[in-house]
Amino acid sequence: MTQPKAPERAIFQGDAKLADAIARVRAGDEEAWGELYRQFAPAIFRFCRRALPTPEDAEDATTEIFMKVREKLGQYDSQRPFSSWLYKVAANHCWDMLRRRHSRQDLETGDVETLPIESANPDQLSRLIDDQTNSGVRSALAQLPARARMVLVLRYYSDLTYEEIAEALKIPREAVGVALLRARQQLRRALTPQQTATHPATGDRS
Amino acid sequence: MNHFDEASCLLYLDGQLDGARAAELTAHFAGCGECRALLHALEKESRLLGAALLEQDEPLPDSLRVVPAPTAGSSSWVHWVWALSFGFAASAVLIFWAVVQPLAEQLDQLGFQASSLLSAVFVSGALWEGWEAMFEALQYAALISLGVLVLAVWRPWRRERIAVAMTLLGIALLLCIPTAASAAEIRRGPNSGVAAGETVNNDLIVFGSAVRIDGTVKGDLIAFAQDLTVNGHVTGDVILFSQLARIGGQVDGNIRAFGASVSLDSGPAKNVIVFARHFDLDPRASIGGGLIGFYATATLGGKINRDALLFAGDTMLDGTVGGDVSYRGNRLEIGPMAQIGGSTRAIGQSRPEVAAGAKLAQPVDFEFQPRRPGRLGRVAAGTYVFRQILAYVGAFLAGLLLIKLFPGLFAAARKATQRVGSAMGVGALVLVSGIAVVLFAILLMIVGTGAGIATLMLYVPILYGAQVFVGSYVGDRLMHKNDTLAPSVGALALGLLILRLLTNIPFLGFFVSAAILIWGTGAICIALWERTRLNVAPAIPAVPAA
């Protein structure tokens, strides 16, 4: 596969040490909880930074997500990768948070939803990509509507499967591909210099 | 040959197509350079997205070094807090009925009616130990409301109910206030009052620096003044807050006086409660009911028809008391003109001096109580320990509530606690202006406006929070000697315990508690300020002070 693996999944999937830590947390071991937190907090924080508008939101959400994780750890099915479960909890939380705060309009992609899906010109796309830096992509991402951001983050940061994304966003499995494609198109527009002005920043300070 | 669209290419790339369809595309890509180019571009885009998003660009902020949700798993946590708050509420109720009820009965015998819960708490509590007890009564009320909050707003989505609970509590307290002066006439001005010959057919509230009541008030009189003189006739009660107060006129109800110097030249038909530095009962004065006095010095020359309860420094009793005299204080002197119809009981450091001419129905019953350092001297050891535990549990409960309800705020405030200097500065500033706010709130409360209570109710949690954050900080410092803070309930418990021990050191304790208050309040205010500035979170109450 071509996508870089989320490091947490690569390291901890099937990891006996992690399974042991989770079991100990379930038994009420504070030290194990601290270990688990320290292991995953940076990744979850970065997840929140990419999915939410401000650094403060990300800080709050990280804390709240871990409180939820602590509460719901009993529900985690140890046959599945821990990081996917973790990111799903995180995605649910961030999504709820955004939904509570913003009007619906802000979450929907609006008129973009009705635009016909056009195939990109491969050469143009290729050139556009070659010009980008990682931080440039991140700041363009910050300008996207919440839904587009979330779906890109879930796919390319959390490395969730289409099924997991559908579950996290509570959309049909079939809609995930379209959502991803639209989000990528929105991102391309944000990356294209002359068009960035028409997409005002959504409040990110970075 | 038809080309495939971007959607199909993406699904192909992500392995989302079924076998037959995937094979179809594979075959097509082999022969179609254009589609292959699109596929490669999309793949490159995926790689870019992955690289950009996965880059470890930001380290974990300091506030997140703190491990959240430090308690045991959710269910045991919930049960624990429920049990704790029930236990706490129960013990608070117990205190009310174990302590307040007997006192209310005692008061009843004296002729004071405990007409409502609040007056029972305030008046009886005051009777018990004076100002300190009054403050404690407030603390109990705050703690009970805290317990109620834990129950009512337990789940995060019920946060908005805090506001409802607060309002209900405020209304409940308002209903308890016996003299709600909702329909009263209000007069303001530096020299306001009631002129001779004038009649006010209503309750009257007066604000002014020099207030004179020479006319008639057909109702209660509530006065806030620097210098108050009442020479007229008040048919109801007189409640006064005045630096200097003289009452020479006729009062048909009770007098409740708070002031530096209070003198009664004529007594009211009913009872008198006085909180004053100096209290003077003129030989001409006659109090129809009983007297409860809290003061440093007093000369009691007039006539008290029923009992006198005195919590005092030095008292010169040279008048007539129809009932019993209960005295607790430094020094009681019974002059040659004194007559006491009932028993005389004194508790204090020195035996009352009785002049030769004094007529006492019964000999003086004196109980020596040595002056012990600090608060220990005033309270029996058992009660003392119990109250310390209660205060400790209250602070701990407040901490749990904060952790659970406002984890972000908790983390931010703890972070601010580490900035000792700025926290101290802000804390001092807020407390100074805050005291003014509280005084104003008390005024409002007496006038009968709910806003006063609401402000007060916000202020009390902040004072509790101060303890919590400093306690949590101290606990962390002790448990993890130098670096990252992993707050746990254990650390909170330990820190609060240490603070409680420190504040009970004689003499030094006062400074410790002042420092905690300033430091913690500053930290809370910094945290609230930072959070409201960056991100308006509706669930977090604003700082009441400026």
B351-373 pLDDT tens trace:
888 888 888 888 888 888 765 44
Residue B172 or residue B177, greater confidence:
B172
Which one of B67, B479, B529, B531 makes the best mutation probe of the A interface by having the most chain A beta carbons within 10 Å?
A: B67
B78 and chain A: CB distance < 8 Å anywhere?
A: no
Minimum-distance CB partner of B73 among A28, A64, A156: A28
Judgement on whether residues A75 and A26 belong to the same structural domain of the protein:
yes
Judge contact between B257 and B276, C-beta under 8 A: yes
Query: Containing domain of residue A72, as a range?
Result: 8-100
Using one digit for the tens of pLDDT, what is the confidence trace for B293-346? 888 888 888 899 888 888 877 888 989 999 888 888 778 889 888 999 988 888
Residue B256 or residue B454, greater confidence:
B256
Judgement on whether residues A31 and A80 belong to the same structural domain of the protein:
yes
Q: Which of B141-150, B279-288, B356-365 has the lowest mean pLDDT?
A: B141-150
Question: Looking at the domain assignment, is residue A138 inside a domain?
Answer: yes
Question: Looking at the domain assignment, is residue A180 inside a domain?
Answer: yes
Nearest CA in chain B to A47: B53
Nearest CA in chain B to A206: B58
Whichever domain contains A128, its CATH number is 1.10.10.10
Minimum-distance CB partner of A153 among B42, B53, B59: B53
Nearest CA in chain A to B41: A126
Nearest CA in chain B to A37: B67
B67 and chain A: CB distance < 8 Å anywhere?
A: yes
Judgement on whether residues A24 and A96 belong to the same structural domain of the protein:
yes
How many residue pairs from chains A and B have C-beta atoms closer than 8 A? 164
Number of other residues whose CB lies within 10 A of the CB of residue B304: 27
Question: What pLDDT is recorded for position A90?
Answer: 92
Residue B546 or residue B107, greater confidence:
B107
Q: Which of A104-108, B265-269, B481-485 has the lowest mean pLDDT?
A: B481-485
Confidence of residue B113 (pLDDT cuts 50, 70, 90): very low
- Find which of B12-26, B58-72, B367-381, B464-478 is predicted with most confidence, using mean pLDDT: B12-26
- Res. A153: pLDDT tops 90: yes
Nearest CA in chain A to B50: A156
Domain C-terminal end among A100, A135, A153: A100
CB spacing of A123 vs B37 below 8 angstroms:
yes
Chain B nearest C-alpha distance from A187 (Å): 10
Nearest CA in chain B to A57: B535
Minimum-distance CB partner of A34 among B11, B73, B486: B486
Judgement on whether residues A55 and A131 belong to the same structural domain of the protein:
no
Question: Looking at the domain assignment, is residue A206 inside a domain?
Answer: no
Confidence of residue A155 (pLDDT cuts 50, 70, 90): very high
Beta strands in chain A (DSSP E): none
B56 and chain A: CB distance < 8 Å anywhere?
A: yes
Chain B nearest C-alpha distance from A33 (Å): 8
Question: Looking at the domain assignment, is residue A155 inside a domain?
Answer: yes
B7 and chain A: CB distance < 8 Å anywhere?
A: yes
Question: What pLDDT is recorded for position A47?
Answer: 93
B-chain residues within 8 Å CB-CB of A3? 46-47, 50
Please identify among residues 459-488 of chain B the ones whose CB lies closer than 8 Å to any CB of chain A.
486, 488
Judgement on whether residues A57 and A140 belong to the same structural domain of the protein:
no
Judgement on whether residues A95 and A17 belong to the same structural domain of the protein:
yes
Chain A nearest C-alpha distance from B479 (Å): 13
Domain C-terminal end among A67, A100, A133: A100
- Whole-number CA gyration radius for chain A: 18
Q: Single out the residue of B157, B147, B47 nearest to residue B89, CA to CA.
A: B147
Which one of B32, B34, B45 makes the best mutation probe of the A interface by having the most chain A beta carbons within 10 Å?
A: B45
Using one digit for the tens of pLDDT, what is the confidence trace for A20-46? 888 888 887 888 888 888 889 999 999
Judgement on whether residues A15 and A83 belong to the same structural domain of the protein:
yes
B-chain residues within 8 Å CB-CB of A177? 7, 10-11, 14, 16
Rounded CA separation B308/B344 (Å): 10
Judgement on whether residues A44 and A127 belong to the same structural domain of the protein:
no
Judgement on whether residues A67 and A137 belong to the same structural domain of the protein:
no
Question: Looking at the domain assignment, is residue A39 inside a domain?
Answer: yes
Using one digit for the tens of pLDDT, what is the confidence trace for B190-235? 778 888 888 888 778 887 788 889 999 888 888 888 888 999 999 8
Work out how many domains chain A is built from and give that number. 2
Nearest CA in chain B to A61: B408
Judge contact between A92 and A46, C-beta under 8 A: no
According to DSSP, residue B130 is labeled T
Question: Is the backbone of residue B222 left (phi > 0), alpha (psi -120 to 50) or beta?
Answer: beta
Question: What pLDDT is recorded for position B544?
Answer: 42
Question: What pLDDT is recorded for position A26?
Answer: 83
Residue B216 or residue B58, greater confidence:
B216
Tokens of A183: 């989000």
A-chain residues within 8 Å CB-CB of B54? 4, 6-7, 156-157
Domain C-terminal end among A70, A100, A130: A100
CB spacing of A177 vs B53 below 8 angstroms:
no
Question: What pLDDT is recorded for position B151?
Answer: 56
A-chain residues within 8 Å CB-CB of B6? 117-120, 181
pLDDT, mean of residues B23-42: 88
Question: Looking at the domain assignment, is residue A149 inside a domain?
Answer: yes
- Find which of A115-129, B64-78, B357-371, B484-498 is predicted with most confidence, using mean pLDDT: B357-371
- Res. B445: pLDDT tops 60: no
Instruction: Name the β-bridge partners of B218.
Output: none
Question: What pLDDT is recorded for position B530?
Answer: 66
Judgement on whether residues A87 and A134 belong to the same structural domain of the protein:
no
What residues contact residue B482 under an 8 Å CB cut-off, 6+ apart? none
CB spacing of B50 vs A184 below 8 angstroms:
no
Chain B nearest C-alpha distance from A68 (Å): 9
ipTM for the complex? Answer: 0.82
Burial class (CB in 10 A: 0-12, 13-18, 19+), B35: buried
SS3 B129: helix
Rounded CA separation B2/B213 (Å): 102
Judgement on whether residues A95 and A14 belong to the same structural domain of the protein:
yes
Query: What is the rounded average pLDDT for all residues in chain B?
Result: 71
Question: What pLDDT is recorded for position A87?
Answer: 92
Question: Looking at the domain assignment, is residue A3 inside a domain?
Answer: no
Q: At what angle do helices A82-101 and A55-72 cross, to 10 degrees?
A: 130
Chain B nearest C-alpha distance from A16 (Å): 22
Rounded CA separation B334/A55 (Å): 73
A-chain residues within 8 Å CB-CB of B7? 117, 177-178, 181
Minimum-distance CB partner of A125 among B45, B54, B76: B45
Judgement on whether residues A69 and A33 belong to the same structural domain of the protein:
yes
CB spacing of B48 vs A7 below 8 angstroms:
no
CB spacing of A70 vs B69 below 8 angstroms:
yes
Residue B36 or residue A8, greater confidence:
B36
Nearest CA in chain A to B49: A156
CB spacing of B73 vs A71 below 8 angstroms:
yes
- Res. B441: pLDDT tops 60: no
CB spacing of B68 vs A66 below 8 angstroms:
yes
Q: Single out the residue of A102, A100, A177, A186 nearest to residue A141, CA to CA.
A: A186
Question: Looking at the domain assignment, is residue A20 inside a domain?
Answer: yes
Rounded CA separation B310/B316 (Å): 11
CB spacing of B54 vs A138 below 8 angstroms:
no
Whichever domain contains A67, its CATH number is 1.10.1740.10
Question: What pLDDT is recorded for position B138?
Answer: 53
Confidence of residue A48 (pLDDT cuts 50, 70, 90): very high
According to DSSP, residue A50 is labeled H
CB spacing of A126 vs B40 below 8 angstroms:
yes
B435 and chain A: CB distance < 8 Å anywhere?
A: no
